[in-house]
């Protein structure tokens, strides 16, 4: 199982982060294959902080995934080839509170190396360890139009900084 992945360090990633996150989208997943939740995200980033390669993910507290992000020390980011966009749409419009997302989409969960859950069909799975969180503060918007446009419900994202631990790249994609 999942031996079609090659495990590598984040320095070996060659993808363009803007297309990876903004265009391809990702599944943010936290928990173990026995008990996890996953949701689609297309906002976030990757970079360098505190001498570590990190990712930044933004999760609204209303998401079921938020509960798992809070309870667990690690999480994963899974990226897919275009034929999985429909599945990502399901994971981004329905809640794990109401449906079994794996059953609905055909995605198959596997255990990563750091108590994370990835998906067999992913092209790339990145495992991360939570280092820091911060809730977006409405007072800090210098461009107030973003607050007005994105947070009518006042459900400000919690930003997590995650240290990138390992990356699993599918050999055949
Ligand atoms: C393309 C796309 C991108 C999304 N990006 C984010 C995001 O970055 N942060 C977030 O909190 N929700 C984002 N969402 C919304 C969640 O994926 C959505 O609310 C999902 O149903 C939450 O599922 P859950 O309740 O099972 O966690 C996005 C949805 C889509 C379709």
29 Ramachandran zone, left/alpha/beta (phi>0; psi -120 to 50): beta
CA of 55 to the centre of ligand 1 (A): 17
CA of 77 to the centre of ligand 1 (A): 13
Q: Supply the residue whose CA is at minimum distance from atom 17 of ligand 1.
A: 92
Q: Closest ligand 1 atom, CA of 62?
A: 25
Assigned token pair, 97? 């509170």
CA of 40 to the centre of ligand 1 (A): 5
Q: Closest ligand 1 atom, CA of 92?
A: 17
* 82-92 pLDDT per residue, tens: 999 999 999 99
Predicted pLDDT of residue 138: 98
Is the distance from CB of 115 to CB of 125 less than 8 angstroms? no
Least confident of 4-8, 119-123, 149-153: 4-8
* 90-113 pLDDT per residue, tens: 999 999 999 999 999 999 999 999
- The whole-angstrom separation of Cα 160 and Cα 134 is 7
Taking 90 as the threshold, does the pLDDT of residue 152 lie above it? Answer: yes
Q: Closest ligand 1 atom, CA of 40?
A: 17
pTM of the model: 0.98
* 10-54 pLDDT per residue, tens: 999 999 999 999 999 999 999 999 999 999 999 999 999 999 999
- The whole-angstrom separation of Cα 152 and Cα 155 is 8
Q: Supply the residue whose CA is at minimum distance from atom 11 of ligand 1.
A: 59
Pocket of ligand 1 (CB under 6 A): 25, 37, 39-43, 58-60, 63-65, 89, 92-97, 157
Q: Supply the residue whose CA is at minimum distance from atom 23 of ligand 1.
A: 95
The predicted model gives 129-140 an average pLDDT of 98
How many C-beta atoms lie closer than 10 Å to residue 29's C-beta?
A: 31
Q: Which domains, ranges and CATH numbers included, belong to the chain?
A: 5-170 (2.30.110.10)
CA of 93 to the centre of ligand 1 (A): 7
Q: Supply the residue whose CA is at minimum distance from atom 30 of ligand 1.
A: 92
Predicted pLDDT of residue 1: 56
Confidence class of residue 172 from pLDDT cuts 50, 70 and 90? confident
């Amino acid at each position: 199982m999942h031996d079609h992945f090659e495990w590598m360090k984040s320095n070996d990633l060659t993808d363009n982060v803007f297309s990876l996150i903004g265009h391809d989208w990702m599944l943010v997943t936290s928990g173990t294959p026995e008990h996890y939740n996953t949701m689609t995200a297309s906002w976030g980033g990757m970079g360098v902080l505190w001498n570590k390669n990190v990712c930044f993910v933004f999760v609204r507290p209303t998401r079921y995934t938020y509960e798992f992000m809070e309870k667990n020390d690690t999480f994963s980011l899974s990226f897919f080839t275009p034929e999985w966009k429909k599945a990502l749409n399901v994971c981004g419009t329905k809640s794990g509170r109401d449906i079994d997302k794996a059953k609905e989409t055909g995605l198959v969960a596997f255990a990563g190396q750091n108590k994370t859950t990835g998906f067999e069909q992913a092209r790339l799975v990145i495992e991360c360890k939570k280092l820091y969180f911060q809730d977006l503060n409405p007072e800090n918007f210098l461009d107030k139009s973003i607050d007005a446009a994105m947070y009518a419900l006042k459900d400000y994202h919690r930003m997590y900084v995650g240290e990138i631990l390992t990356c699993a790249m599918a050999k055949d994609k």
